[in-house]
Amino acid sequence: MNYFITGTDTGVGKTFVTALLTRALRSAGFDTVALKPISCGDREDAEALRHAIGGELPLDAINPLWFDAPAAPLVAAREERRAVEKADLQGWYAALRQSRKSLLVEGVGGWLAPVSEGLGGAEFAAIFELPVVVVVANRLGCLNHALLTIESVRAHGFTCAGLIINHLQPPQTISKRTNPAILRELADVPVLFEIQPGQRSLDLAVA
User: 87-104: per-residue pLDDT in tens?
Assistant: 999 999 999 999 899 999
Domain count, the chain: 1
**CA gap 28, 206 in Å, rounded:** 13
- Choosing from 36, 86, 101, 176, the catalytic residue is 36
Is 36 noted as a catalytic residue in this protein?
Answer: yes
Please give the DSSP secondary-structure letter assigned to residue 196: P
For residue 153, CA distances in Å to 6, 96, 159, 160, 176 come to 10, 24, 7, 6, 24
CATH value at residue 48: 3.40.50.300
- Across the chain, mean pLDDT equals 95
Helix (H, G, I), strand (E, B) or coil at 189: coil
List the single range of 35-39, 129-133, 136-140, 195-199 with lowest mean pLDDT: 195-199
If you average pLDDT over residues 189-200, what whole number do you get?
Answer: 93
Q: What is the pLDDT of residue 119?
A: 93
**CA gap 24, 104 in Å, rounded:** 12
Q: Is pLDDT of 48 > 90?
A: yes
Cβ(76)–Cβ(40) under 8 Å?
yes
Helix, strand, coil % in the chain, rounded to nearest 5: 40, 20, 40
Q: Is pLDDT of 126 > 90?
A: yes
Q: How confident is the model at residue 156 (pLDDT cuts 50, 70, 90)?
A: very high
Q: What is the pLDDT of residue 88?
A: 95
Q: What is the pLDDT of residue 169?
A: 85
If you average pLDDT over residues 146-151, what whole number do you get?
Answer: 98
Q: Is pLDDT of 206 > 80?
A: no
Domain ranges, residue 200 = 3-206
Concatenating the DSSP letter of every residue in 15-78 gives HHHHHHHHHHHHHTT---EEE-SEEES-SHHHHHHHHHTTT-S-HHHH--EEESSSS-HHHHHH
How many other β-carbons are positioned within 10 Å of the β-carbon of residue 80?
10
How do strand 65-67 and strand 38-40 relate by DSSP bridges?
Answer: parallel
Q: Is pLDDT of 1 > 90?
A: no
